[in-house]
Amino acid sequence: MEASVAIQVLPQFVESTEEVVRIVDEAIAYIQSEFPDAYVGPFETTIQGEYDHCMKVVAEVNRIVVAAGAPEVATYVKIFFAPEKGVLTTEEKITKYHLDEK
- Across the chain, the runs of DSSP E, i.e. the strands, are 3-12, 39-40, 45-49, 72-81
Give kind and range of the element (H or E) at residue 29.
helix 17-34
pTM: 0.90
Q: What's the gap between Cα 40 and its chain centre?
A: 7
Checking if the pLDDT of 102 tops 70, the result is: no
The residues pairing with 3 across neighbouring beta strands, listed in sequence order, are: 49, 81
Checking if the pLDDT of 3 tops 90, the result is: yes
61-97 pLDDT tens trace = 999 999 999 999 999 999 999 998 888 888 888 888 8
Structural domains of the chain in order of their starting residue, each with its CATH number: 3-101 (3.30.70.930)
The whole-angstrom separation of Cα 65 and Cα 70 is 6
